[in-house]
Amino acid sequence: MEKFVPVVVIKELSEVDKILPALKNAGINCAEITFRTACAAEAIKIACEKYPDMSVGAGTVINAAQCKAALKAGAQFIVSPGLSPAVAKICNKKNIPYYPGCVTPTEIMAALELGITTVKFFPANIYGGLKALKALSAPFPQVKFIPTGGVDRSNIDEFLAFDKVEAIGGSFFVKEALEKMEG
Ligand code: 3PG
Per-residue pLDDT of 133-179, as tens digits, reads: 999 999 999 999 999 999 999 999 999 999 999 999 999 999 999 99
Percent of the chain with pLDDT over 70: 100
Residue 182 pLDDT grade (very low, low, confident, very high; cuts 50, 70, 90): confident
Q: For atom 11 of ligand 1, which residue has the closest CA?
A: 170
Is 90 exceeded by the pLDDT of residue 1?
no
For ligand 1, what atom is nearest to the CA of residue 32?
3
CA 44 to ligand 1 centroid distance, Å: 18
CA 173 to ligand 1 centroid distance, Å: 10
Q: What is the DSSP letter of 171?
A: S
Is 90 exceeded by the pLDDT of residue 71?
yes
What pLDDT score was predicted for residue 168?
98
CA 183 to ligand 1 centroid distance, Å: 24
Alpha carbon separation from 95 to 44, 64, 90, 128 (Å, rounded):
18, 15, 8, 32
At the second CATH level, the architecture of 4-182 is Alpha-Beta Barrel (3.20)
